[in-house]
Structure 1
Amino acid sequence: MKNRDLKTTLIISVSIPISIIATFILLYFGNITFNIMTLGGMALGIGMLVDNSIVVLENIYRLRENGLDSQSASIEGAKEVSMAVSASTLTTIAVFAPMVFVEGITATIFKELAFTVAFSLVISLLVSLTLIPMLASRSLKKEVEEKNNRFSKVFRSVRDGYESILSWALNHKGWAIFIAVAIFVVTIFPLFILGGEFFPPVDEGTFIVNIDLPSGSSFQETNKVIENLEKDISKIKEVDTFSIEKRRRL
C-alpha cells in the first residue's frame, strides 16, 4: 500500500490466527482429529488465508484514497470484490471437493485433508468480507505525508541502495554474472558434502541376521548353528525378544 502504514499490515496479520482458530473449531465439531493429513491440509490452506484479505483491503484503501470516508469505503470496497474473492476461493475448494465423496482407503487418507482445506478457505473468505472491512473502517486514515513517516524514510534508503546496486550491475554485466554464478556454486556445494536420501533413516529397534549354510547341510548341523546363534543373541542386554525363521533355499 502506498502509505506503508503499519496498521494495514496488522489488519492483514489478524486474519491468519483467526482463520486458523476458526478452522480448529470446525474440525472439532466435525469429529476430525488433528493428524498428519489435517496438518498437511492446514499447511495448504494457510497459503491462501491472507490472499482474500489483501484483495479486500487493497480495494478499500483505493476507495479511501478517492475521497470516501472510512465506513463507506469499507462497505463499498468489500462489496465490489466480494464476487471475485468468492469465485477464487470456491474454485480452489472445487479442486478438493471430489475427495470427500470417494470411498475405500483413498477416503481414509484424503478425506480429512480435503475437509481441512475447505474449512480453512471458507473461514478466510468470511474473515475477509466481515472482519477486515470492520477493522479497516476504524483504522484507515488519510495518507500521511512521506516526509513525516519514519518508515518511509527507511524505505526510501533501502530503495535508493537497491537502485544503486541495480545500476552498478547493469553497467558491469560481466562482474554481475560472475557474482551470480559464484553464489550459485557456493549454494550448491554443501549438497555434495551433506548428501541426500529419499527417506531419513529410522531406528525401528529391530535388526535381522541372515545365515547361509552350504547346500546339503543336514538338519542336525542347521539346528546346532541356530542354537549357537540363539546363545549369542541372548547375551546381548539390549535384546528383549527374538525369533528364528528357517528357510530352505531352492
Structure 2
Amino acid sequence: MSPLIHVEEVSVVIAVLGGFIIIFGLVSFFVKERLYLSEALVSVIVGIILGPIALGLLDPFHWGPKDDITFEFTRIVIAIQVMCSGVALPKAYLAKEWKSLIILLLPVMTYMWAASGLIIWWIIPKINLLESLAIAACVTPTDPILANSVVKGRFAEKHVPPHVRNLLSAESASNDGLAYPFLFLSIYLMEEVSVGKAIGKWFLFAWLYQVALSCVIGVVVGYIARKLLYLAERNRLIDKESFLVFAIALAVSYSYLISFYGLND
C-alpha cells in the first residue's frame, strides 16, 4: 500500500515550509510594520507562486484526497487560532463585554448573512436564493486569522482603539460556530418539503445540539482545564515548556474529541 504522501514530496514540503519561515522571519518586522502586509496575505501569495498554477514546486493535488487534507489542516489552524484569540483577551472579557458581542454575533451577523446571500444570488443568477444563502453562511464569519492581522502590530496599536481590537478578536473567534445555524437553515429548507419540519429540525440539531451543547461542553472542559493547570503550576508539577503548549494541545484535542459525537468543533 503506497503512502498518502511520497517521501520526496514530504521532503520538498518541509524544506519549502522551513525556508519560508526562515526568510519571512528575517524580514517580518519590515513586511508587517512598514509595508503593513499580514502573514496570511504573504503566505497566500507565496503559496500561489510555488503552487501548481505557477512554479509547480508544491502540488497538493498529488498528495492524496485534497479535500480531506485541506479540511483537516484548516481545522487544526482554526482551532489553534481561536484558542490564541481567547487567551489574548483581557481577564473576564466576555463577562464585561457580552452585550457588544451579542449584538455583533446575532443581528449584525444575520444582516451580513442576508446581504451576502443577496449579493451572491445577484452575481450568480443560475443558483436559487437558498443556495446563495448556503454559500453566504460560509463567507459570513470573520476569519480569526485575518482578524488577527488587523488587531496586532504597530499600525493597529496606533490607529485602532484597544476595545475595538479586543471586540474584533472576540467576535472573530466566536462567529465560526454561529455560522452553523445559517448554513443548516438553508440546507434543511432545501431538503425538507415542509417548512415547519425544516425549522424544527434546524432548531433541534443546529441550535441545541451543535451550538448550545458544544458551548456547554466547552465551558466545562475549559473550567476543568484551567483548574488542572492552576493546580499543576501551583504545586510545581509542570515546566515552562509544557505550560506554554498546554493551550494549543487542549484546542486541537478538544476539537477532534467532540467531533466523535458529531458536534460543532
TM-score range for the pair, normalised by the shorter chain length: under 0.3
TM-score by length of 1: 0.25
Higher relative contact order by CA 8 Å / sep ≥ 6: 1 or 2? 1
TM-score by length of 2: 0.24
Greater helix content:
2
Max radius of gyration: which structure? 1
